[in-house]
Amino acid sequence: MTDHTEDSVRAEARTWLEANWDVNLGLVKWRNKLADSGWGMPNWPSEWYGKDLSVGLVPVVEEEFRRIGALPIPKSGIRMLAAATILNHGSDMHKEKYLRPILTGEDVWCQLFSEPGSGSDLAGATTKAVMVGNKWVVNGQKVWTTSAHKARWGLLLARTDMNVPKHQGLSYFIIDMHQPGVEAVPLKQMNGHASFNQVFLTDAEVMPDFQVAELGDGWKVATTTLMHERRGADSLRSWGQVPDLEGSIYDEERAEVETTLAPYKWYPQRAGRVDLIMQRAKETGAINDPAMRQEIAKLMVLHKSAEWTARRARSAQEQGKPQGPEGSLGKLASSNVARASARVHTMVSGADAMLSGADGVMNGTIAEILISFPASSIAGGTDEIQRNIISERVLKMPKETRFDADKPFKDVPRNTVA
């Protein structure tokens, strides 16, 4: 495609969809057609299953998918973080091996970053990768790893050099989660779900070809993954939504949502469910209370401001600009919105908000919001981390005092044995 105007993109997308969309196709077969055509991820490079379109033209294509009822490529989740990272830093071999199964949904991914001993200090990771013979041997423990119990592949941040400062001694790998030496143990959450896992790595192996970027570049690559995660923080509430239409392909996608996407069922609740506020206020009569209306108005202003911040990030992306402060601003804003929304839900529903299951408001949805929303302030970088990033990189305020930035990592005191 050479003429990238809105009208020409719309016309070509519409023509292709009308000729190829079939509600009775198998889901994987349809996604393979999308990968071959480039319409599944049209802003990707044409040599890697895309159309070379600007991000600004993607909504035009999405409108045509919605018009005809065609299922798009699922664009949320860790597998898309893996795709973004591989496109930015991976070798041609990585792109050839991993991108298509990501688009078809055949491969489930997980992100092996956080560790029990380093908290929010991602650069303090102590999981080690040591070259033994012709392969990397990995030992350590990861935690809060979504979908690790289902994943085929993992994005692994591991320490490969103890003798340099902590940010310089990390490397980034793609690891086979099905091999001996990788054990995923689900963690039961207080909201009843078990999305997260501890992952124990004991002499797990990674061949050198599955190192992403250069040795010691792990922090740079991990930052790319996190930037895309924060940029997509505002899209969590749309995960797992399937059109209420008839056809075997819709049935198949609904079944996938119930299995592969099951760990994300509660993600809309952790975002606060602002979309339910007005409905609940009208149902309960809270909308007639002037004080309650004031609180609802405050929330809606905060929500709309966060939405505009997200649009700024998307606009910058559409113009080809590098990730700016909008990612951290948006991530922090989404946490504030979730917190404020939970507060308003509590005010609207009162003590009934504490009831779960069939006895609860909206079958326990409101209760699930109240015990899920704190996760939005932790996942993808805590609120405190985002404030540091904003203060130091955006407002140019003095950096907080650090005692480990220039020391060899082996000399840095820590609360685990490396």
CA–CA distances in Å: residue 370 to residues 196, 214, 270:
19, 43, 8
Give the containing element (helix H, strand E) for 64. Answer: helix 58-68
CA 269 to chain centre: 15
Alpha-carbon distance of 381 to 394, in angstroms, equals 17
**47 catalytic per annotation:** no
Catalytic entry in 64, 115, 205, 229: 229
CA dist 31 and 106 (Å) reads 10
Task: At 89, list the tokens.
Answer: 């830093």
Asked whether the beta carbons of 212 and 172 are under 8 A apart, the reply is yes
Maximum Cα interatomic distance, the chain, rounded to a whole number of Å: 72
- Can you state the angle between helices 78-89 and 218-231, rounded to 10 degrees? 130
Residue 406, class by beta-carbon neighbours within 10 Å (0-12 exposed, 13-18 middle, 19+ buried)?
exposed
Active site residues: 229
